Chains A and B, each alone.
Chain A
Amino acid sequence: MAQDINRLKESASQTAGPYVHIGLTPNFCGIEGIFPEDLGASLISDQTKGERISVEIRVFDGTGSVLKDALVETWQADAEGLYNSPSETRGAADPAFSGWGRFPSDMESGEIRFETIKPGPVPFPGGRMMAPHINLWIVARGINLGLATRLYFGDEEAANAEDPVLARIEHRNRVPTLIASRDGDVYTFDIHLQGEKETVFFDI
């Protein structure tokens, strides 16, 4: 026998369940007066630097039905490609941009819409740059462990073609599942949890 390494195991994940809103967006589900506002409901202010965009997300299950009880969290760099986090070592991010958002699906339509800024590029290990992207984390009833994916921008074709993460996707016909289409200032991104159009999820 060798010595014991003595590490702990990560706590097991469990589904967020159908009532995730009570804890994470209580005002959204009608529980008012406990927290003044739901965290992460808005990302930008007048002081935030960068190009204003809107993002529309829908999440679909394996039957093609839209989820009306999903919750998506977003994490992105500022317009210069810096994260507003103590673990950011490359410089100070825009203080007027937290970079984090939290958005429940509309309970009737399943739609998620939010305003943000287009993020700048962020480096991959080794120094190559990744294309601008928003990191997404999806939880819901029926999802046992939060799903990680990325939203890339349809009008960044050259940067997307060089992106080292997209380059990891062996089946090239799946790359478009990560690319939001642009119409004016609005990007539309449909997430398919399962099936023919299944979105690429990451093991990170």
Chain B
Amino acid sequence: MKNQRPETGGFFQRDRAWQPPALTPLYKTSVVRSPQKAPIAFPHTPSEITGPTFGHGILGALDNDLTLNHARSGESAIGPRIIVYGRVVDENARPVPNVLVEFWQANAGGRYRHKKDGYLAPLDPNFGGCGRTITDEDGNYSFRTIMPGAYPWPNGINDWRPAHIHFSVFGHGFVQRLITQMYFEGDPMIWKCPIVGTIPDRRAVEGLIAALDMEATVPMDARAYKFDIVLRGRRSTLFENRMEGN
């Protein structure tokens, strides 16, 4: 990858029938936070095609280990120990190297370390809930954490989020920017959740469910879940340059 010229083509059109629409009334907060007018399209310019980069220099030694990065010396977070790994690729199935991946989650009891979370499940003094990493040359990332718990939220009178980890991913262009949530294979709560239900296509939901991977599991230590992320693909530089006349 290193000797390749940077990619500078425009990105594929986002499939807005695949992505959740803005207005999804069963997820109640979306009702007043969804634009009612159609978004306006225009061809990609340098503003859309470029995006920020982050060097490995920003990473601390424990940034991708949530079991330890907020723990007192000699202690670790309480909960089922897991490794989450995967690749960031684009719609052309090509790796997206050197991009920042950030993640955040509740603790094993479903409690977030945030002053606006009033759930009665207790905080874990050894768990903060955030981490980050940068994909390698082949688009790979991994981190270590504990399995988050499900938690109730004030939507319907008895709505519970499935266990999930929030992901924030950068691509090489600012329009590849994506925030999503990872769910866990086999969790029956997935199919009851109004936020999951904002996604119109069942296959798109299945794309957010990490698979238990016993082969990558570390015996006597941590189970592994595989979660690949797909960002928008881009057209080749060649045609783009010809179109722009440079």
- Does the CB pair B20–A14 fall under 8 Å? yes
Q: Which of B51, B69, B115, B180 contacts A14 (CB 8 A)?
A: B180
Neighbouring A residues of B18 by C-beta, 8 Å: 9-10, 12
A184 at the interface (CB under 8 A from B): no
Interface string of B22-57 (1 = CB under 8 A from A): 101001011111111111111111111111111000
B174 at the interface (CB under 8 A from A): yes
- Does the CB pair A10–B168 fall under 8 Å? no
- Does the CB pair B229–A144 fall under 8 Å? no
Provide the bound-state CA to CA distance between A16 and B65, in Å.
21
Q: Which of B36, B47, B104, B131 contacts A198 (CB 8 A)?
A: B36
Neighbouring A residues of B131 by C-beta, 8 Å: 34
B15 at the interface (CB under 8 A from A): yes
Least CB distance, A47 to chain B, in whole angstroms: 18
Q: Are A124 and B45 also in contact (CB < 8 A) when A143-B22, A195-B36 are?
A: yes
Least CB distance, A60 to chain B, in whole angstroms: 10
Q: Are A14 and B198 also in contact (CB < 8 A) when A22-B114, A24-B168, A147-B35 are?
A: yes
Least CB distance, B20 to chain A, in whole angstroms: 4
- Does the CB pair B244–A126 fall under 8 Å? yes
Of residues 170 through 204 on chain A, the ones whose CB sits less than 8 Å from some CB of chain B are: 174, 193-195, 198-204
Neighbouring A residues of B141 by C-beta, 8 Å: none
Provide the bound-state CA to CA distance between A200 and B229, in Å.
29
Q: Which of A10, A15, A73 contacts B15 (CB 8 A)?
A: A10
B179 to chain A: closest residue by CB: A16
A95 at the interface (CB under 8 A from B): no
A-B contact count (CB 8 A): 278
- Does the CB pair B39–A8 fall under 8 Å? no
Q: Are A85 and B91 also in contact (CB < 8 A) when A23-B130, A31-B113 are?
A: no
Provide the bound-state CA to CA distance between A141 and B31, in Å.
11
User: Helix, strand, loop or mixed for chain A's interface?
Assistant: loop
Least CB distance, B43 to chain A, in whole angstroms: 5
- Does the CB pair A193–B33 fall under 8 Å? yes
Provide the bound-state CA to CA distance between A98 and B245, in Å.
28
B164 to chain A: closest residue by CB: A14
Q: Which of B29, B69, B180 contacts A12 (CB 8 A)?
A: B180
- Does the CB pair B27–A142 fall under 8 Å? yes
Neighbouring B residues of A7 by C-beta, 8 Å: 91-93, 233
Neighbouring A residues of B36 by C-beta, 8 Å: 62, 194-195, 198
Least CB distance, A87 to chain B, in whole angstroms: 5
- Does the CB pair B19–A61 fall under 8 Å? no
* Contact stretch, chosen from A49-57, A109-117, A127-135: A127-135
Neighbouring B residues of A124 by C-beta, 8 Å: 43, 45
B128 at the interface (CB under 8 A from A): yes
Provide the bound-state CA to CA distance between A124 and B244, in Å.
9
Of residues 90 through 141 on chain A, the ones whose CB sits less than 8 Å from some CB of chain B are: 90, 98-100, 107, 122-127, 130, 133, 135, 137, 139-141
- Does the CB pair A11–B229 fall under 8 Å? yes
- Does the CB pair A87–B92 fall under 8 Å? no
- Does the CB pair B114–A12 fall under 8 Å? no
- Does the CB pair B91–A135 fall under 8 Å? no
A17 to chain B: closest residue by CB: B166
Least CB distance, A70 to chain B, in whole angstroms: 9
Q: Which of B42, B58, B175, B203 contacts A165 (CB 8 A)?
A: B42
Q: Are A143 and B93 also in contact (CB < 8 A) when A9-B230, A30-B115 are?
A: no
Least CB distance, A195 to chain B, in whole angstroms: 7
Q: Which of B44, B91, B114, B132 contacts A10 (CB 8 A)?
A: B91
A63 at the interface (CB under 8 A from B): yes
List, sorted by A's number, 13 A–B pairs whose CB atoms are closer than 8 Å: A8-B89, A10-B15, A22-B130, A23-B102, A23-B168, A75-B52, A122-B47, A124-B43, A125-B44, A137-B174, A144-B34, A148-B39, A202-B41
Given contacts A16-B166, A34-B131, 9 further A-B contacts (CB under 8 A): A6-B93, A22-B128, A23-B102, A75-B50, A86-B172, A122-B46, A198-B37, A200-B40, A201-B39
A-B pairs, 5 with minimum CB distance? A23-B104, A142-B29, A85-B50, A142-B33, A100-B52
